[in-house]
Amino acid sequence: MKEPTQEEIAQRLGVSRSTVSRVLRNISGPKSSTAARIIEAAREMGYRLPATENTAARKGAGRQKSTVLGLLLSIPDQRTSQTAEVPMRVLHGATDAARERDVLLHVEYTTVSAASSIASFQDLPSSLRKKIVSGALLLGEMSSQAISLISEKKPCVRLMNHDLGSSLDIVGQDDRTAVRELVMRLKDLGHRNIGYYCRNPKASYALSRFSGYVETLALTGLPYDPKATVNIWEYSAETALNAVLESVQNGVTAWICSHDDCGYELVNFLRKQGVQVPRDVSICGFDHLPVPRGMPVLTTINWPLEDIAAAGIGMLLRRINEPARAPAQLQFGGRIVDGESVGPVRSC
């Protein structure tokens, strides 16, 4: 009989999956009535509960050594609540999946600049140099050299990034379909001149979303204006924002931003120029990040990051057990979360 998932336990009790996860991670702690119900339901449904201190002691020595997987998180050098959102949700999903599969998870953090400067085996985190982990999940921006050095030593799965020339297994997001849904939403609201704005043109997600944007414009018969694709060709920050303003003045009424940070950056800049969102211009983004104070809630794409991380754990275990298997890719769809930044085209 298949072991029930935390989602199934949550549905049975009418509580959130995060509540179930929190209770089952701290099974030996104090019990509220809700926690007691969750633990009782988990036992009834055949869910394998983690060992408490007492049961662990009874098992004693001789327990088979657990598999240890690594999770390397490369995060922006300047950390905010926005930049922490994606890695923290991935960490949550990976932790739950590792526990459900009875493996251990060793987490290493690095910054984008540090990851980009990895030039030799000795520059790698200690867990990847030594025999601490059997394989690793890789999330965030990393140089091709860093990825090559890691993957030469350990089985690896890349999360949410496509690296040029890499043959790693990948678990990520379906950018192409998500962009298409955003363009169609804007088109249905009367927008015909739609721009694309990003901050980091070297990021694979920015380029895949851009390619999906261009493809959708072609499929729907909407015009493509190279001047309205800002920062794909590495403008300076000031030049990029001025290019956006010029495009707005020339009739661009909506912008798809490569992620929410870019979207909020545009909202803030355009406000200072007297352009109101969504009255004058509609803006949407990706990743469903926390809303900065004083900003309208951005219409965005929310990815099932916890599920992506869990699938990454499964794919990594399979790669460890089947090292000769051909590289695989798995994509998860996102869903539009409506905010306050998109509206119909303003009539003249």
- 275 shares its domain with 185: yes
- 184 shares its domain with 294: yes
Q: Is residue 58 part of a domain?
A: no
Q: Is residue 112 part of a domain?
A: yes
| Rounded Cα gap, residues 223 and 195, in angstroms | 10
Residue 234 tokens, joined: 């590495």
| Rounded Cα gap, residues 208 and 179, in angstroms | 9
- 202 shares its domain with 291: yes
- 291 shares its domain with 325: no
Question: Phi then psi for 76, rounded to 5 degrees?
Answer: -55, 150
How many domains are contained in the chain? Answer: 3
- 189 shares its domain with 297: yes
Q: How many CB atoms lie under 10 A from the CB of residue 113?
A: 11
Q: How far is CA 101 from the centre of its chain?
A: 22
**pTM exceeds 0.95 for this model:** no
Q: Quick one: pLDDT at residue 124?
A: 85
Which residues are within 8 A (CB) of 187 and not within 5 positions of it... i.e. 6 or more apart?
A: 194, 220, 222
Q: Is residue 320 part of a domain?
A: yes
Beta strand segments in the chain, E: 68-75, 104-111, 135-139, 156-159, 169-173, 194-197, 229-230, 254-257, 282-284, 300-302, 329-332, 335-337
3 state SS of 346:
coil
Range of the structural domain that residue 20 is part of: 6-49
- 149 shares its domain with 201: no
- 224 shares its domain with 80: no
Q: Is the dihedral of CA 148, 150, 152, 158 positive or negative?
A: negative
Q: Is residue 343 part of a domain?
A: no
Residue-wise pLDDT tens for the chain (348 aa)? Answer: 567 788 888 888 888 877 887 777 665 444 567 777 888 888 777 777 665 444 444 444 444 567 999 999 988 877 665 678 899 999 999 999 999 999 999 999 888 888 888 888 888 888 888 888 999 999 998 888 889 989 988 999 999 998 877 889 999 999 999 999 999 999 999 999 999 999 877 788 999 999 999 999 999 999 999 999 988 766 677 788 999 999 999 999 999 999 999 999 999 999 999 999 999 999 999 999 999 999 999 999 999 999 999 999 999 999 999 998 999 999 999 999 999 999 999 876
Write the CA distances from 77 to 153, 158, 250, 292, 322, integer angstroms: 26, 20, 36, 19, 36
Q: Quick one: pLDDT at residue 89?
A: 93
- 235 shares its domain with 315: no
Task: Residue 252: name the closest of 280, 213, 212 by CA.
Answer: 280
- 82 shares its domain with 197: no
Q: Quick one: pLDDT at residue 235?
A: 64
Q: Quick one: pLDDT at residue 345?
A: 94
- Overall residue count recorded for the chain in this entry: 348
**Do 194 and 160 touch, CB atoms closer than 8 A?**
no
| DSSP of 259-313 | SHHHHHHHHHHHHHTT--TTTT-EEE-SS-PPPPTTPPPPBEEE--HHHHHHHHH
- 41 shares its domain with 156: no
Q: Is residue 87 part of a domain?
A: yes
Q: Is residue 340 part of a domain?
A: no
The domain that holds 130 is classified in CATH as 3.40.50.2300
- 150 shares its domain with 122: yes
Q: Is residue 63 part of a domain?
A: no
Q: Quick one: pLDDT at residue 130?
A: 83
Say whether the peptide bond before residue 278 is cis (omega within 30 degrees of 0): yes
Q: Is the dihedral of CA 72, 75, 79, 83 positive or negative?
A: negative
Q: Quick one: pLDDT at residue 62?
A: 46
- The 8-class DSSP code of residue 180 comes to H
Q: Is residue 59 part of a domain?
A: no
- 290 shares its domain with 180: yes
| Rounded Cα gap, residues 168 and 157, in angstroms | 6
